[in-house]
Amino acid sequence: MENIKIIKATINDLKNLQQISRETFAETFSSEHNNENMNKYMEKSFSAEKLGSELHNGDSEFYFAVLEGKVIGYLKLNSGQSQTEIKDEKALEIERIYVLEEYHGKKVGQLLYAKAIDTAMQMFADYVWLGVWEENPRAISFYKKNGFVEFDQHSFMFGDDKQTDIMMKKQL
């Protein structure tokens, strides 16, 4: 998979971002959640208005993993006041790393993760942090393998279902 390119998404990529966001989220979570909660979450989180506003936000960045012209995964990073929990100027949040199922195990997530760490180093961040759903063992294992440790947790509503994210961070 050495032909994968990591490119920064711009407002011109809104449709591609919306498509990859919805597709990867559905692949990852639809088997564990009912359709009503999935649809509510995706309408709220991946609407053209919401993603467009995030693409225009200087403290949020999106990157695509592209193979032969096809977007196969993406990364969302937040700094400054755009971070979802911790608003630490010396931190970078990885809000999302998602890869199409057919490309799991092919190092695409690792390439996106490397981009996140490069970005954090360029901004002289002290640490990188994220929240990961407690019932997503694949993601938890990925982050632990990359040196992240658990430091807290928080609850969130997924439709009408209360869920818990494990908060993890890695010192740089």
Task: Please report, for the domain that includes residue 69, its CATH number.
Answer: 3.40.630.30
Range of the domain at 143: 5-171
Nearest to 154 by CA among 126, 128, 130: 130
Tokens in use for 163?
Answer: 């869920």
pLDDT for 17-49, tens place per residue?
A: 999 999 999 998 877 787 888 888 889 899 999
Catalytic residue numbers, as ranges: 143
How big is the chain, counted in residues?
172
Mean pLDDT of all residues in 149-163: 88
Strand partners, 77: 61, 94
* Predicted local confidence at residue 157, as pLDDT: 78
For the chain, how many structural domains are there in total?
Answer: 1
**Residue 1 pLDDT > 70, yes or no?**
no
**Residue 99 pLDDT > 80, yes or no?**
yes
pLDDT for 43-85, tens place per residue?
A: 989 999 999 999 999 999 999 999 999 999 999 999 999 999 8
Out of 139-143, 145-149, 152-156, which region has the weakest mean confidence (pLDDT)?
152-156
* Average per-residue pLDDT for the chain: 93
Look up residue 54 and give its amino acid: E
Query: What is the full DSSP assignment across 77-120?
Result: EE-GGG-SS---TTEEEEEEEEE-GGGTTTTHHHHHHHHHHHHH
pLDDT band of residue 100 (cuts 50, 70, 90) is: very high
Tokens in use for 67?
Answer: 């193979």
Nearest to 124 by CA among 64, 70, 79, 59: 79
* Predicted local confidence at residue 34, as pLDDT: 79
